[in-house]
Amino acid sequence: MRNIWILFKREMMSYFFSPIAYIVGVAVLLIMGGSFYFITYILSRQPGDNYTASQWFFNGFFFWIVMLVVPPVISMRLFADEQKSGTIETLMTAPLRDWEYVLAKFFGACVFFIVLWSPTSLYVFVLRHFSRDTTPLDLGPVVGGYIGVLLVAMLLISIGCMASASTRNQIIAAIIAFAIGGSLFLVGFGFFYTSDKYKEFFDYISMLGHMLEMSRGVLEWKRVIFYLSSSFFFLYLAHCMVQSRRWKN
Amino acid sequence: MIQVDNLVKRYAGFTAIHGLTFSVQKGEIVGFLGPNGAGKSTTMRILSCFMPATSGTAIVAGFNTYDQSLEVRQRIGYMPENVPLYPEMRVHEYLHFRAALKGVPRSRRRGQVERVSEQCGITDVMRKIIGHLSKGYRQRVGLADALVHDPELIILDEPTIGLDPNQIRQVRGLIKDLGKSHTVLLSTHILPEVEMTCSRVIIINKGKIAASDTPENLKRLRMGGGETVVEVKADAKAVENEFRAIPDVSQVEASPSDGGFCKVAIHPKRDEDLRETVYQIVRQKGWGLRELTRRRQTLEDVFVQITTEDD
Ligand SMILES: Nc1ncnc2c1ncn2[C@@H]1O[C@H](COP(=O)(O)OP(=O)(O)O)[C@@H](O)[C@H]1O
Ligand SMILES: [Mg+2]
């Protein structure tokens, strides 16, 4: 546990020294800001839609672009870079366990993702401030939306960890992670194309369905469990890849 | 401190080391010497628990590197070849990070980092960013990292590669100092290095041990002593014949030199000093003499001979 904290601190530091992190940060803010502006614009012209503002925000086209692209980009260097620069050799000959290494990387990326997203929470308050709405703000959908985002991000980052651990090339890692995450996203659409028998299964794994529910303020435990357990599964694969070095051949 | 028994490492289809067996006692400074590709780094990576051997065992500090790797890693300081570091960190941040990772208690971290930075001569770059350091400083930061938790055994893979002669001298001095209180295993393909720093040398070639002894013994054993070189004013033929008559001489080569002198190299059969015998003959004959030396062998001769022997 102590080792995770030590590695985690170093990981956070290196994020704040990496130019890519800043580029991604600015891009996220611009895209989500643009998307937010766009949504407020649409809603102001044709209110009374079936969807709430929160559902718009957490399910728009731009939202999903950011969701599917950012985790691969912030996790691509995690393991690949250590393998390429050789620092893996100093790390793994220090007395730390492989799973501590994997978890520290994973938590580092998750926390960095949260840091990237936190400024968007200002949008909610901006919106409240400038609207004439005087009813108390319903925080449920907003909080639900952010929990939903975090769950999806954890899954995609764990996929990113696995991809990064499988290569020493960051770009390849990002492409693998994006391909797997994107496929998982698309498979969720099977919900609309299958008969009742499979509908439940596709509903279960659909990221879109998950975010629609969460941004309504509905927390479904089966979905939470799906995200946590599949994150765990990909982290386990990442751990196997890190550990494969220690296999005798 | 190190017990290696019949160690084999196969990379996909290629055997890098074939059955190494050797041991290193506490307090020794052992040099691992071999040409590029001999398997030095491979062996050191196995000893430092970076990867396992395909077969055979390696016991380091009393623990098996395969199934007690955590215990081993707590007790060694390893510096890999080319010294990988995090370029974005500052030197003191890096050393604190490494000290923490290696389990140095918080209360002792500052003191330890200070101690090794003085030992390695990096106190004036502690606040610099590692990416901006020169190769020599980076090497020393790597060395400081290997020492920061005061390990029982220090494993250094090519510690002086890429340094200028001045820096090499400093690093060698440092290693010698370390040897007073630590066990050190270092690898190199530079010969004078082991001659100057190591108490024992293991010559490794193509994944096998070619020789293992003190540098002095290796020199003596392998070549049977160096030749005597004499330069006298006389006819080359006559000189050659005269020296051939000495017992214990295996070979004499004479070649004419300037001013009526000729230069003669006399090889002894065994490790024997022929200078006095040669001098007596020269005096007896009344030849003019302007040089009489015994050529000292370097480990380089031994190294070249051993590593090319079976070709
Ligand atoms: N990861 C690897 N995969 C395949 N072959 C390797 C690997 N690492 C080293 N080798 C090969 O093993 C041999 C020994 O390498 P190494 O131990 O690095 O030698 P040295 O350090 O003595 O120069 C070399 O021929 C090298 O090409
Ligand atoms: Mg090497």
Scored b (16 or more CB within 10 A) or e, B11-36 reads eeeeebbbebebebeeebbbbbbbee
User: Does B97 contact A10 at a Cβ distance shorter than 8 Å?
Assistant: yes
- For chain B, the 3-state helix, strand and coil shares in percent, each to the nearest 5, are 40, 30, 30
Nearest CA in chain B to A245: B51
Q: From ligand 2's centre to the CA of A10, what distance in Å?
A: 28
Residues present in chain A in total? 249
What confidence tens digit (pLDDT) does each residue in B127-174 have?
A: 999 999 998 899 999 999 999 999 999 999 998 887 888 888 888 888
**Strands B29-33, B76-79: parallel, antiparallel or unpaired by DSSP?**
unpaired
Q: Does residue B11 line the site of ligand 1, with CB under 6 A?
A: yes
The answer to whether A242 touches A163, Cβ cutoff 8 Å, is no
Report the pLDDT value the prediction gives residue B29, as an integer from 0 to 100.
Answer: 92
Residue B165: count other Cβ atoms within 10 Å of its Cβ: 8
What confidence tens digit (pLDDT) does each residue in B46-90 have?
A: 999 999 999 999 999 999 999 899 999 999 999 999 899 999 999
pLDDT-flagged residues of chain A (< 50): none
Report the pLDDT value the prediction gives residue A140, as an integer from 0 to 100.
Answer: 78
Quote the CA–CA distance of B310 and B220 in Å, as a whole number: 20
Strand, helix or coil at A69? helix
Q: Does residue B17 line the site of ligand 1, with CB under 6 A?
A: no
Fold exhibited by the domain B226-295: Alpha-Beta Plaits (3.30.70)
Nearest-atom index, ligand 1, CA of B12: 4
The answer for B 80-109 residues in CB contact with A (under 8 A) is 80, 82, 84-86, 88-89, 93, 97-98, 100-103
Quote the CA–CA distance of B291 and B233 in Å, as a whole number: 10
For B236-261, what is the mean pLDDT? 85
The average confidence (pLDDT) of chain B is 87
Q: From ligand 1's centre to the CA of B17, what distance in Å?
A: 9
Nearest-atom index, ligand 1, CA of B34: 22
What does pTM read for this prediction?
Answer: 0.84
For chain B, the domains span 2-220, 226-295
Q: Binning pLDDT at 50, 70 and 90, where does residue B266 land?
A: confident
Q: From ligand 1's centre to the CA of B212, what distance in Å?
A: 21
Residue whose CA is closest, atom 9 of ligand 1?
Answer: B42
Quote the CA–CA distance of A38 and A51 in Å, as a whole number: 15
Quote the CA–CA distance of B277 and B218 in Å, as a whole number: 26
B60-to-A213, B32, B138, B149 alpha-carbon distances in Å: 57, 16, 27, 17
Alpha carbon A23 to chain centroid, angstroms:
17
User: Does B50 contact A89 at a Cβ distance shorter than 8 Å?
Assistant: yes
Report the pLDDT value the prediction gives residue A38, as an integer from 0 to 100.
Answer: 78
For domain B2-220, the question of CATH label 3.40.50.300 is answered with yes
Report the pLDDT value the prediction gives residue B216, as an integer from 0 to 100.
Answer: 76
Report the residue from A14, A85, A97 with minimal CB separation from B84.
A85
User: Does B84 contact A13 at a Cβ distance shorter than 8 Å?
Assistant: no
Q: From ligand 2's centre to the CA of B158, what distance in Å?
A: 7
pLDDT of B41 over the 90 cut: yes
What confidence tens digit (pLDDT) does each residue in B85-106 have?
A: 999 999 999 999 999 999 999 9
Residue A168: count other Cβ atoms within 10 Å of its Cβ: 17
Q: Which of B86, B104, B152 is the best mutation test for A, with the most CBs of A within 10 A? A: B86
What confidence tens digit (pLDDT) does each residue in A195-214 have?
A: 777 777 777 778 888 887 88
State the angle between helix axes of A221-243 and A139-165 in degrees (0 to 180), rounded to the nearest 10. Answer: 20
Report the residue from A6, A85, A245 with minimal CB separation from B101.
A6
